[in-house]
Amino acid sequence: MGPGRGRVAVHVRTMAHGLLFDSVSARRLELIMSGLLSVLDTVMWGVITFSILVVMHEGGHFLAARAFGVKVHEFMIGLPGPSLRFRAKDVDWGITAVPLGGYVRIAGMEPGPEDPLIGETLVAVRDHGISEPHALGRYLGVDEDRAQALLITVEDWKAVSRDTDDRLVLSVDGDTSALSATELADRARSVTYRGQSTWKRVTILSAGVLVNLLTAILTFTVFLSVWGYYEVTTTIDNVDPGTPAEAAGILPGDTLITMDGDEVGSWVEFQTAMAATKPAQTITLGLERAGEVIEVDVTLADREGHGFVGVGPRPVKVDPTVLQSLGKSLEMSRDTFVVVLGLFDPSRFAGTVEKFTGPVGLFDQAKQAAHAGPIDFAYLIAAVSLSLGIINILPLPPLDGGKVVLEFVERIAGRPLSRNVSLGLSTVGAVLLFSLIGYLTFMDIGRLAG
């Protein structure tokens, strides 16, 4: 081969390597873009799902507050922070930079006892045009920090507002010119959360949970009435090869009647009984086969530390009436509530937590349900709404159930809890709640990585 041919061959090999390199790079870029699009798709459907749930839950609080004439500052989707918002009907509506969760800010929900100088503060604004903490402090004879807190409170009550010159003006409804300080405070308080009776406060706090539960129950009832459902029976549908069931001679079509002499009324009962067994333990199953009752001894295998038989139940299609569907929906709600209560049982905590999904897992489920179709997505919304509603019932501040408990404690005590106690309880509850969410997120990542 001459020098020219050698150079041509080298050039050809170089081009081949270049084409191969370009092909590999393009494939890598394609995989990166595909992964990125998948992540964006997951995030989009997760945000949409959270937003729907937030609008339902916070909408309950909002509607209850407005029904009682309580003023509302904001209805926001997302965590507090920078936001896009617009104002309508004296309420700020919008979405924040982190659209996970949401809140409704209701007038008069500040913790702790009320400052007795609220009325005098309103008089100072009405009669003397006082707008600054230092001026209010001199007028009332208090330090500037307390004066600042008073102004923040009356602004939160929407009892005052700022005009175009940033001066405070009274915005209490009706003619207030002849009202005393006490009467003025009573008038301003009447349209705040603080000014409502206990039952109205509890209703406002509970309304979000009620919307969650009612939405879930209604959705499940409609789904079950229209499409029905499959219910597992105690009849065995399949026997896995190489399992203790096959070795014991159990056949598809056999019906479970007893386990170690105890009646098996449902497949759930059988699963519960199996959860209490150990590997290598021998159990006796009573079976009905072709109209005859037989007994077989089964030596259990190991599955996650529990005994394992290796059989599956036979499902049957059920087409319930509307009332039966409603009953089944209530039964599903009860079962979910029982699962949530497992969080408070140390012996069941680990097993209960494994049944929950954190934010990352929910985002992934939302994407899969959305791609499966609107029916699957609506069913997921209902299922998550049910879970969130039940979790919010828990008597743990800052959850709604915890706030309701504090309302009754204050009613019994005859006075509000101190600000420090209220904030302390909420902080402890928030730490516990976010610790659980963090653990669930860690488990979600592990499941998805696996």
Is there a common fold for 118-193 and 229-318? Answer: no
Rounded Cα–Cα distance for residues 297 and 280 (Å) = 12
pLDDT for residue 5: 56
Q: How many CA atoms lie within 13 A of 266 on its CB side?
A: 5
Q: Crossing angle for the helix pair 419-449 and 400-413, nearest 10 degrees?
A: 160
Q: State yes or no: cis peptide before 398, omega within 30 of 0.
A: yes
- Class level of CATH domain 118-193: mainly alpha
Please say if the pLDDT value at position 12 is more than 70: no
Q: Which two tokens stand for residue 447?
A: 């499941």
- Class level of CATH domain 229-318: mainly beta
**What are the residue ranges spanned by the domains of the chain?**
118-193, 210-227+320-449, 229-318
Rounded Cα–Cα distance for residues 433 and 436 (Å) = 5
According to DSSP, the β-strands at 229-239 and 91-96 are: unpaired
Please say if the pLDDT value at position 140 is more than 90: yes
Average pLDDT over residues 218-240: 91
Greatest mean pLDDT among 87-91, 110-114, 247-251 lies in 247-251
pTM value is 0.77
Given pLDDT bands bounded at 50, 70 and 90, which one contains residue 97?
Answer: confident
pLDDT for residue 407: 92
pLDDT for residue 83: 87
pLDDT for residue 135: 94
Rounded Cα–Cα distance for residues 390 and 212 (Å) = 8
pLDDT for residue 21: 56
Q: What is the total residue count of the chain?
A: 450
Decide if 320 contacts 223 (C-beta within 8 A). no
pLDDT, one tens digit per residue, over 343-381 is: 777 766 666 667 677 777 888 888 888 888 888 888 888
Q: Round to the nearest angstrom and report the end-to-end CA distance of the chain.
A: 56
